[in-house]
Structure 1
Amino acid sequence: MDIQVPKPVRQPFFKRHRGLGVIVCLLVIWLLVQLDIGLATQLPKSDIMIATVKQGVLNIEVDAFGELQSEQQHIITTTSAGIVTEVVNKAGSIVEAGTLIAKLENPDLTLELKRSQQRLIEAKADELQLNLRQQRERLLEQSVLGQLEGELATLTFRFQAQKNLVDRGIISELSFLETQAQLGSLETRVSHAKARIEQLQGLHLSATALALEKIELAKQEQALLAEKVAQLDIVAAEQGVIEVMPLELGARVERGAHVVTIGSQHALKAELKVNQSQAANVQVGQLVKVFSAAQVIRGKVTRIDPVITAHHVIVEVSLPLLSDIELRPKQSIRASIVVDTIDDAFYVQNPVGEAAKMATLYRVLDGGKTELVDVQFGQKSGRYIEVKGGLKVGDSIVISDLSSYAQQAQAVVIQ
């Protein structure tokens, strides 16, 4: 009797080599991943700018640039023509009140000053001679008056004596009448002498006043010329910074020419240039942040120039007193004008080259992979722009200009 042996059942290959199948699957997946990466454009991370979407208060700001100007300026002009012989301080120098800035020379003015000094000496000498002459004249008239008064006293005694004698018939009435006539004549002469002295005193006072007036005029003329000569030295009238000083050695300066402008270091204002496309959003009274080195100075818009110059509008900004900050007139600055505030906004740093309200950008995923997303933007604020849709807080996007890849829907991997 034959015994039947059962035939062995042959299992499928993958069941018999299950571990090998797993390895093959993993290898296939790896190859697909490598194939996908190989087709994607690979960009170094160091060459790519990436920004993260944030949420919070967003100040809508208009960027501007400009320079600081002095609110208080002191202008120096020349009172006389001259030639520049020395330049001590130039534009940009910090000066104190009384600091010498430059020297001028005017030989004609110096000569005129010496002549005025000589005229003053002559006027004083004339006044002294006049006093001596007046004293001599007064002494002479007083001497004549004294002599006449002496004769009058003697004749008066004689008249009194003869009056008693004529009553008693001792002397003739003719002699008495002659004495009486002489007495009247002498009294008249004394009266005239006194009148001459009074008139002489009046003339002397008038002549003395005229001489003193000439001296005073000579003094004023000399003082004026001396002041003009002194003003040939250009001196700072107050503390500040020299903003304008066009003088050069040997240059001739005319009378009344503007030679120096000194501006305050502490009372400053900002003159900003705002692009005409953004100027419509700027209004008087808006907050302005002025950036100087590492410091931020807050001011307010005080005036907007209605004239557009070179596609820009000039905006003046008042600043607080800045005694504790080292700033200078004509210093270049940048600023941001706050034109609006959004309390709870999504915002991100401005993508390069994107100015439209809609843009297709690369969102960064794990492992450096990216995907294209359509992003809706709102208001722009300096370095930031409001995100209205397409992104959420914490998303990272490429803000470098990858528009050439995005237009072709090219896959990008950031390494």
Structure 2
Amino acid sequence: MDIIKTTPVKKRSWIKPAAFIVGALVFSVWQITQASSDTKVSRSELRIAAVQKSDLPFTISGFGKLISKHKRFLTSPTVATIEEILVLPGTQVIADTVIMKLSNPDLRLQVNNAQMELARHQAGLRELKINQKSAYLAHQAILVQIKSNLAAAELKVEAQSGLAAKGIVSSLDFKRSKLAATQLAEQLDIEQQRLEHLQSAHQEKISVQGQWAKQLDANLALKLSLQAGLVIRADIEGVLQSTPVTLGQSVAAGEKLALVASNKTMIAQLKIPQNEAQDIAIGHKAIINTRSAFVSGVVNRIDPVITNGSVVIDIDITQALPVNARPELKVEGKIEIGMLSNALYIKQPVGVKAHSSSQVFTLLANQQTATLRTMKFGRVIGNNIELLSGASEGEQFIVSDTSSWSPNHSLTITD
């Protein structure tokens, strides 16, 4: 019987390769650590600043622009079409400068109709006055006739009174004469009342027609005002800032046609980071740099709304601006907050923000080594930043960009 021999299978060992890989990784990490701890930097590549201590004027800087304190939006008085644009944005204008002309054929027709209606009414009013005058004179003529008849009747009564007593005139005729005189006197009184009433009625009718004439006149004045408003004038002296319409465009009543900003009274509007704006108060003095002159100002408004991390500060200009100043001119401003007494400060390191804690490389006594130190910073003052803790007067720090070396705890500085 044959005996089958089996060859034993050798088990693979993973221990040696694994140990080799782990060893390689440890060696690599050690090399990297050694390399980083021995980082060398040339002194010429660094900006080094010393901590100083003194009274420091505290100012806050910001950028912004000049804006007009008085602006005028010019709008269309009625539905119209842009017929002509005479002035372009950026042009200096005076109050009477014609910026553009509009047209409205329907408005022209309305003006003509209003003029004709007023003319017809005025003609009718004149005719009414003439007719009333004629009626008044005719009634006065009646009164004159009645007065004449009454006078004759009274004379007759007076003449017959003596004759009746002597029996020459019968008592019946005498009584008839007296009755006629009495009737004429009553008729005269009634006609006088009628004349007074006629005068009052005439005056009332003239008043009503006069009021209607005033309404027609006011309607015509409105139409003429709208028509005159089709010639768009600047209304104020300044600079034409924008004309958001095009030639031939149809516009609605009240639609914006142009913006004119006065260049006589302007303010500076600065944007200040919100963490610095908390130190600003109304009344603080400021210096505005218009690139051609420095002018003084005073903070007169602090916007309560924070927009994109900034607060808008309005500065009233208290000095005459240069002749080239105009709305929207870019400016830089410094607001004077006060004086910091015995303040510790240093040139602001790159990447360090106000009111923060940051690590900064400080030079050791040998001037060849720099190590990281945590420092607490306060307010930014110009190119400097206030030191609240972590440093003493005279110590030196690297204030240039060290972000590429931030993982290292120390640097070796070479000359």
Does TM, scored on the shorter chain, surpass 0.5? yes
The equivalent of 2:97 in structure 1 is: 99
Give aligned-pair identity as a percent. Answer: 25
The equivalent of 2:202 in structure 1 is: 204
The secondary structure found in structure 2 opposite 1:271 is strand
Q: Which sits farther off after the overlay, 375-384 or 316-325?
A: 375-384
Pair 124,357 (structure 1): closer, same or farther in 2 beyond 3 Å: same
Is contact 2:242-2:259 (8 Å) kept?
A: yes
Is contact 1:304-1:313 (8 Å) kept?
A: no
The equivalent of 1:224 in structure 2 is: 222
Is contact 1:269-1:316 (8 Å) kept?
A: no
Deviation of residue 232 (structure 1)?
Answer: 2.0
Is contact 1:305-1:313 (8 Å) kept?
A: no
1:382 aligned onto 2:387: no
Pair 196,307 (structure 1): closer, same or farther in 2 beyond 3 Å: closer
Residue-by-residue CA offset, 1:116-158 (whole Å, 9 max, x unaligned): 2112211221121112211221222222222222222222222
Is contact 2:59-2:382 (8 Å) kept?
A: yes
Q: Which sits farther off after the overlay, 402-411 or 235-244?
A: 402-411
CA RMSD of aligned residues (A): 3.8
Distance 1:398 1:411 in 2: 11
Residue-by-residue CA offset, 1:176-227 (whole Å, 9 max, x unaligned): 2222222222223333332222222222222222232232222222222212
Deviation of residue 86 (structure 1)?
Answer: 1.9
1:161 aligned onto 2:159: yes
Pair 261,323 (structure 1): closer, same or farther in 2 beyond 3 Å: farther
1:173 aligned onto 2:159: no
**Given the alignment, which residue of 299, 309, 315 partners 2:312?**
315
The secondary structure found in structure 2 opposite 1:274 is strand
The secondary structure found in structure 1 opposite 2:271 is strand
Pair 175,320 (structure 1): closer, same or farther in 2 beyond 3 Å: same
1:328 aligned onto 2:306: no
Pair 362,106 (structure 1): closer, same or farther in 2 beyond 3 Å: farther
Distance 2:48 2:292 in 1: 23
Pair 177,195 (structure 1): closer, same or farther in 2 beyond 3 Å: same
The equivalent of 2:293 in structure 1 is: 295
Distance 2:99 2:121 in 1: 37
The equivalent of 2:245 in structure 1 is: 247
The equivalent of 1:134 in structure 2 is: 132
Write the mapping of 1:12-411 to structure 2, written as runs, cut at 5 A.
Answer: 58-310=56-308, 312-325=309-322, 326-339=324-337, 341-342=339-340, 350=348, 352=350, 359-360=360-361, 380-385=380-385, 401=401, 409=411
Deviation of residue 300 (structure 1)?
Answer: 4.0
Q: Which sits farther off after the overlay, 315-324 or 106-115?
A: 315-324
The equivalent of 2:17 in structure 1 is: none
**Normalising by structure 1, what TM-score?**
0.72
Any gaps of 5 or more consecutive residues in structure 2? Answer: 1-39
Is contact 1:266-1:323 (8 Å) kept?
A: no
Q: Which sits farther off after the overlay, 127-136 or 155-164?
A: 155-164
Distance 1:301 1:153 in 2: 94
Pair 138,60 (structure 1): closer, same or farther in 2 beyond 3 Å: closer
Is contact 1:267-1:321 (8 Å) kept?
A: no
Pair 154,283 (structure 1): closer, same or farther in 2 beyond 3 Å: closer
Distance 1:404 1:85 in 2: 63
Is contact 1:126-1:211 (8 Å) kept?
A: no
Distance 2:277 2:145 in 1: 102
Pair 343,256 (structure 1): closer, same or farther in 2 beyond 3 Å: same
Residue-by-residue CA offset, 1:4-23 (whole Å, 9 max, x unaligned): xxxxxxxxxxxxxxxxxxxx
Distance 1:253 1:161 in 2: 90
Distance 2:78 2:135 in 1: 47
Deviation of residue 293 (structure 1)?
Answer: 0.4
Distance 1:108 1:385 in 2: 68
Pair 304,170 (structure 1): closer, same or farther in 2 beyond 3 Å: closer
Residue-by-residue CA offset, 1:220-256 (whole Å, 9 max, x unaligned): 2222221222122222222223344323222222223
Deviation of residue 410 (structure 1)?
Answer: 6.2
Residue-by-residue CA offset, 1:88-137 (whole Å, 9 max, x unaligned): 23443332222222222222222222222112211221121112211221
Residue-by-residue CA offset, 1:275-318 (whole Å, 9 max, x unaligned): 345444545544443322043334344444444332x2223132
Is contact 1:61-1:381 (8 Å) kept?
A: yes
**Normalising by structure 2, what TM-score?**
0.72
Q: Count the aligned residue pairs.
A: 363
Letter of the 2:192 counterpart: K
